[in-house]
């Protein structure tokens, strides 16, 4: 048995053809036996899939197409305590972690990136480092910056946006409101770096960290991320020919106290170069 996350709006058989070594007849047999699940529900026909759907296949793991480490991420930095990688767009964070487990003696998960958000991910190489890294991400003592190609341009070149986020589990989305008794307070800082005719490039700093915060928050102000199929506009994405969201985790600064085991990394900044085209 194995599973994978869908990275495009596609039919099930086509997705299985891309992700596995299964022949068409073998896929048809699995469907007839209902040995395939989509988001936990067994299916018996070629259904339509959406980005983010999870497909579980009751077949030998050898049916999965082999993937090289270099197809998933590149290593930015490593020492005896931490490992920093640049995850590629369209790669599941869990897949990166699984690949690292097969390459290193000890690796610990610290945080995730959305399937179609590329960029910096940090892993720990021992329990002591795991504890301090988890604390830093949870308590927002680290500075995380993203690059986003958005539709249009903000009136102010830079600002701090404060609103409320509400999760809708049934729709697998979040919604933003100005006021809410039930929502979580979110704070997103942005700075416009470049402007094109129809788009602009903004640097975003997460001052709180909630599900889909950047994507939903920017869209709430009318400046959705180009290529975002959930919070953006398909007509704009199609016109520009962009299918994957243009959001990258491109810079991270670690901050520790003198008492911390990882204090030698205090103030250390990791960056990845991102060539994002304006439209």
Q: What is the pLDDT of residue 181?
A: 79
Look up the CATH number of the domain holding residue 225.
3.30.2350.10
Residue with tokens 């790669």: 91
Q: Which two tokens stand for residue 189?
A: 């800082």
155 and 130, same domain (yes or no): no
Q: What is the pLDDT of residue 63?
A: 82
Q: Which two tokens stand for residue 266?
A: 């205090």
167 and 244, same domain (yes or no): yes
Q: What is the CA radius of gyration of the chain?
A: 20
Q: Which of 66, 63, 68 is nearest to 36 (CA)?
A: 63
Q: What is the pLDDT of residue 245?
A: 92
Q: What is the pLDDT of residue 8?
A: 75
Q: What is the pLDDT of residue 116?
A: 87
Number of structural domains, the chain? 3
CB 192 within 8 A of CB 154: yes
Per run of 10 residues, the mean pLDDT along the chain (length 279 residues) is 81 91 92 94 94 87 76 94 95 88 92 92 98 96 97 97 92 89 92 97 94 96 95 94 93 98 98 93
Q: What is the pLDDT of residue 106?
A: 93
160 and 222, same domain (yes or no): yes
Q: What's the CA angle centered on 73, arms 67 and 75, to 5 degrees?
A: 130
Segments forming the whole domain that contains residue 169: 146-249
CB 29 within 8 A of CB 14: no
Q: Which of 95, 40, 88 is nearest to 64 (CA)?
A: 95
161 and 240, same domain (yes or no): yes
């Amino acid at each position: 048995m194995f599973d994978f996350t869908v990275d495009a709006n596609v039919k099930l058989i086509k997705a299985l053809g891309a992700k596995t070594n299964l022949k068409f007849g073998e896929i048809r047999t699995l469907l007839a036996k209902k040995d395939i699940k989509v988001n936990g529900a067994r299916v018996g026909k070629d259904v339509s899939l959406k980005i983010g759907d999870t497909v579980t296949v009751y077949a030998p793991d050898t049916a999965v197409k082999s993937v090289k480490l270099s197809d998933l991420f590149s290593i930015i930095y490593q020492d005896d305590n931490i490992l920093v990688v640049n995850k590629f767009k369209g790669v599941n964070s869990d897949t990166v972690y699984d690949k690292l487990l097969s390459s290193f003696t000890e690796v610990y998960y610290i945080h995730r990136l959305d399937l179609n958000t590329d960029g910096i991910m940090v892993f720990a190489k021992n329990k002591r480092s795991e504890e301090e890294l988890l604390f830093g991400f949870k308590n927002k003592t680290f500075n995380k910056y993203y690059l986003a190609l958005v539709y249009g341009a903000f009136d102010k070149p830079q600002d701090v946006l404060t609103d409320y986020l509400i999760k809708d589990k049934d729709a697998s989305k979040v919604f933003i409101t100005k006021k809410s008794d039930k929502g979580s307070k979110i704070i997103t800082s942005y700075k416009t770096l470049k402007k094109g005719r129809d788009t602009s490039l903004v640097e975003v700093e997460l001052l709180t960290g909630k599900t889909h915060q950047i994507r939903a928050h920017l869209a709430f102000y009318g400046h959705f991320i180009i290529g975002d199929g959930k919070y953006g506009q398909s007509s704009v994405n199609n016109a520009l020919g962009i299918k994957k969201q243009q959001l990258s985790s491109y810079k991270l600064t670690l901050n520790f106290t003198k008492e911390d085991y990882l204090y030698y990394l205090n103030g250390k900044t990791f960056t990845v170069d991102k060539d994002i085209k304006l439209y």
